[in-house]
Structure 1
Amino acid sequence: MAKRQKVTVDGRQLTLSNLDKVLYPSAGTTKAEVLTYLSTIALVLVPQAAGRPVTRKHWPDGVGTEAEPRAPFFRKDLEDSAPGWVPREDLEHSDHTNTYPLIDGPSVLAWLGQVAALEIHVPQWRFDADGVPQNPDRLVLDLDPGPGLGLAECAEVARLCRDILTDLGLESVPVTSGSKGIHLYAGLDGASTSEQVSEVAHELARSLEADHPDLVVSRMKKSLRRGRVLVDWSQNNASKTTVCPYSLRGRARPFVAAPRTWDELDDPGLAQLDHRQVMDRVADGLDPMADLGQGQRADGSADALDAYRARRDAARTPEPVPEAAPHGSARGGSRGTGEEEAGRTAGSAGTEPIFVIQEHHASRLHFDTRYERDGVLVSWAVPKGPPLEPGVNRLAVQTEDHPLEYARFEGRIPKGEYGAGEVTIWDSGTIAIEKWRAGEEIIAVLDGRPDGGLGGVPRRYVLVHTDGDSWLMQLMKDQPAAAAPFTDDLPAPMLATAGSPADLDADDEWAFEGKWDGYRAIAGVREDGVELRSRNGVDLLPTFPELAALAELVPAGTVVDGEIVALDSSSRPSFGLLQTRGKLTRPRDVERAMEDTPAHLFVFDLLRSPEHGSLLTRPYSERRALLEELLGGDGRSGSDRIQVPVALGVPVDAAIDISRELGLEGIVAKRTDDRYLPGRRSRGWIKIKHDAHQEAVVIGYRAGKGSRSSTLGSLLLAVPEDGELAYAGRVGSGFAEAELADLRAQLDRITRRTPAVGDVPAADSRDATWVSAKLVGEVAHSGRTSEGRLRQPIWRGLRPDKTPDEVRWESPVE
């Protein structure tokens, strides 16, 4: 390896040397590996250090070993040899002035790695745009175990501290220090001085010591610390520093001051993390300190997009990542205090300002709500989405400002990147700001798309700040007048997510319905009759003409959602009977089957009525009440073909028991405040099945033997994964003799020379006939193997109401 290398980092030139020098002998970690770590974690470290004066601990010859550690040298003043581009600020002390470096990006971290400044220490305050120290923006507690104690006891004390901080309205984040203990951080609003924050922290430590004298000590005296955890509150002093979150430590091994989740602190095996473990966590998008990082330019000027840029690498994410503004040029900060009441303000280039709400399937589903203000999109993450009824409060957590280009972004953020997951635009349009009191209250009217999630009507919202980054979002009682539009096309059905009772959030209210084993259908009554469509738009009325009776029960302009079901002699749903009925195409056969195997439409949702217009944005509980008012909710509707099935009651265990007694496939749990999302799969609807069923795409068959020699022995199946078909196994049982010949005839019309997937084992592909991936079937099974294959699948039948792109796994790999 070359002894000296010139590199360009973040547009700045730097000379690196001695890259093969071992800085951590016990682990064999070289300077090159340290530089790789600093480059990887820059996106999460920079927001924690930006704007803060940096003191450093250097180990130019490495840290030594545990048996023979080397002492570092401590430095405050910026080295004379530092590159001219390293930003800096002067800080006056009582008898002298120090010039401190500031961290504004990966280039400064690379320079610190080059000079072996392994530990980065910062205070809890930042400089402002004029280089003036500000009040602290976070509180820190250093939990240091005394002799005989370790991380487990520190975690216990951390939880005690957390309870007190929560009572004070402060959310806290634990950091395993990379040394012996735990640091605990809580974000502040900057209204209190360092002296005031220190006093609060001191009182917290004293009260814990009084309540838990055998576990906690708040005084530094060594004789008091054996068998106790010291709650060191003193690092909130303006002149004190703490190792920066994500900094390396100068221990025998390259441990890191690593932010952790509270769930991790409950792990009895809790341990310090090294640099490789932290890089893996950051690659997975885990940054528990994200809410405590703030966008601040290293030269003190506020650039609202610095926090956004620090979390994203334009080479790794499809999101727009604009260039930084020139140093010293400040863009208007959205979190400042200078905004008061305002009417409609102009957007970029004098146009009307915009809003966008993006449905974001990250580690947890949330709705990113963004308002244009001062050249950026001020952003909140709303876990349950903007409320669509007055009086409903929704948590809205303010996040980093986003660039205006983000309003058009849809796509998948890659795994390992910040915010990894699928992003789609839920609604977008123009915004009229009626009041903007930064940090306090925002009132705005959002005018979205006709087919958007807000229902195509302008809606007035208020955002009220509560604490830290937490706000409450509410639809105001006084709304702009607008009529909900009516479209001629029937909407696509909303889809449920497969799950179990454990997936039902206890904080939500749920209603339970039967899971019917049939064909999903949307029905609309027009002046000239009934339109009946499958979930993929197929006209079902020629196959089930008796369901036109809906027009006799509800007025024109009504749209409902339901399931087409065939009942056996015990009045229980039979998918086999429905399949037989669904194959018929000749009018004479259909007419005969109407008598022998009549179809029923079990209606479970009302999407539109002529009296109320579109109901898509109304909560489920209201839609259900209006449906029962329209058709009756006791299982009777004036027609033995059209009915609203009775609700199963609560709790979930009782609903499951009732559904078993009725011979149903399972239950569907529906959140009572959930809106109807056409064509989208939602966690507001959770389907819980008694037995494991799986839809799959047929990709081939193997010839049968004996009585099946002229038909088939088994079907080869696949399920889409990450946009591509993956082999899911083969099924050879459960076929009715009458369907084998018909199934073979259908498959022989769509044969192809090669398999539609590339991972079929040789044992299964031997003598196979391959077919185009067009037909969808369903199997019952007893789980999945570790390779993702279906275990003991049993054929249930073709699903002509489904298309291959709708298929997805409904059960996890065991």
Structure 2
Amino acid sequence: MSEVPEHGGSRQVVMVGGRRITLTHLDKVLYPETGTTKADVLGYYAAVADVLIPHAANRPATRKRWVHGVGTAEGPGHVFFQKNLDSSTPDWVRRGRLQHTHHVNEYPLVNDLATLTWLGQISALEIHVPQWQFGPDGSPRNPDRLVLDLDPGEGVSLSECAEVARLARAILRDMGLDPLPVTSGSKGIHLYAALDLSHTSEQVSQVAHELARALEADHPDQVVSDMQKAKRPGRVFVDWSQNNSSKTTITPYSLRGTLRPMVAMPRTWRELASPGLAQVDFRQAMHRVERGGDPLAGLLTAHSGGGDPAGVAAVGGPGADALAVYRSKRDASTTPEPMPAGVVTAGDGRSFVIQEHHARNLHYDLRLEHEGVLASWALPRGVPTDPAKNRLAVRTEDHPLEYGAYEGVIPAGEYGAGTVSIWDRGAYDLEKWRDDEVIATLNGEPRGGLNGSARFALIRTGGKNWLIHLMKPRPSSGSYPPARSGSVGSSAGADRRIRYRPMLATLGSVTDLPEDDAWAFEMKWDGIRALAYVRAEDDPAAEVRLLTRNGNDVTPAYPELVATLPGALRADSAVLDGEIVALDRAGRPDFGLLQTRMGLTDRRQIDAAVAATPVRFMAFDVLERDGEPLLDRTYAVRRAVLADILEVTGAVQVPPAFDGDSAEAMRSSRNLGLEGVVAKTLDGRYQAGRRSRSWIKIRHHLSQEVVIGGWRPGNGRRSGSAGSLLMGIPDGGRLRYIGRVGTGFRDRDLDDLRARLDPLETADGPFADVPVADARDARWVRPVLVGEVEFADWTAAGRLRHPSWRGWRPDKTPADVVREAP
């Protein structure tokens, strides 16, 4: 788990997996076409680390770096490949060494989030690895996967690559291999098939070459296997060469250095059959991972994995050294953890414990008694509560049986430093125990975190990484609090309350909402996010606490809410999520007004501010009712509870949600003068402390009809087409220049541009005020074509900020075009 900042900044020091990393230039734009920053890149890699790392682990990673960004359609950014590690590499980065003809190269191993974060910090956008891993002794093993790169030649679409992928799949299945597809994030498709480590890279390359030749022989009009580029137009090139031990392929889930931040994204075969098949960008990738896990997981479970060079113990394992790794990580003279001596004797006990571990990052540890020790897994995201959503389980060293009763504080500087408490414990019923799969029913204590019994499956996905799956639905009264971090409540020690962290939304658009999900739409309020801890008792002032997103207590600053919330509550107690807002005379949220209420501590100033600028609490969620956590209930259930327990008053509101109608919600938001809406899945759980794509905030984008007066040639894949269009608005008999647009075009738009523009070419530019830099290599056209763009706002110079192409408007003439926004 990481603490990667969400927003830009010049320099920040973070702790990631126990490693101290300095992040710089977080606001640097690495993808100018979309405004994607280094902070966005770091956030993406943190979000997909659990699925990316298993596919890259223990493989020498070649990096492709764009230190100054990927460039634009008008010119690529500077890029360079890096194999050998340089002197600035942190000493904690694990590495592997390869002997080349005349030298030895040292490569990083992307085995943990800290290393992945460091790669993002140095703008290593693409991560390339071979099809083999280092073994425990540090030497290369035989390949554990075969790969085919299906690369479309000129004039070939992604859907045609998918057809060739299906043809290749049929052959591979006849060979006993079942391939899995990855859209490359660039142009084509990669096919991976798991191998059993019994063949050398040379042998696998030969097989892949013969397979490519067979495809070409059977389908000469569709497939080419020859390396000569002259033979590729109109056909799919089946590149078999990446199975060579010295060749690499982009890692699944890696970003690409394309104009937009695209991703090498694992897909399903059903998706490949879709007529709308397209490459996936990083926001779509995060949403897919969150909802569906890793479609490529079968590649990891089909073989024994690459092992761990660090030597993590296998599951179980009786004998004198069963606790050797455990002891080696701890100093018995400083830590209070149990340190038994002597030989471990195998037994048949069935005890278990789940411990809540507040180390650098909160996580849970699952320990099952097996052959005289506690086989242990760390659960970074907690115990699964939804059978549809698996969670990561990381195999750690075996622990002594005495650890099953341990609670206490591990001192700073020690391994796992922090507070350990027992979340639940008891005995388990075992169904299966293998090196790659464990199935057991855990029977917890009556008041434990499991709230009784739960049946889980642990499935190994490769190396130390496992998945933990809830095999049966949890009881409806379950109250697992995955995001708790301390206690809040009254002074009575027996009345401890869970302290929650608010769930965060992901920025997106209406197009990011999958049609197969049911969504509700709430207004986006321009205020301060706050969690309200409320008890409806006689002394209201003592029974309300208002905590901001960062955990700051702002209760004294808003006495009108302290006075009103308990009386509005139709329950004994509750934890509410909402926004504190100040309204202007038109009844619209005004953040400028709210700022007059912020930071006040003097009682007289607060009272005066209350009279001048009263605030309201816009409640939109409930996390707890009468001591029962509701995090695992669906959004629809939580909203029903909220409506049931909270009475609307002047200062306390429950704004309505629109079910399933994004257009109406956006219209209402615009009419109310609000920022936009937040779309929420009706079946979504409350993911405390996490940024989730089951909540998507959609801001209003301004749109403008424009007259096209010229274009500039593109580079790279847009060579021969337009890189950007020059736009204007009629103004007093002249065409006033308002900027150029180079993003938002689909492939068919690009193909159509020259056909529209070339017949209109003219020698003279139609604009009265186009800058010299924009006119440098412009091709002018008669200003008769009208299009439409979205944009963020207007600059002081009268240009569109961040315009994105929406399409042509053949129903409009230039005379119809006017400035549509202030």
Q: Which has the larger radius of gyration?
A: 1
Q: TM-score, length-normalised on structure 1?
A: 0.44
Q: TM-score, length-normalised on structure 2?
A: 0.44
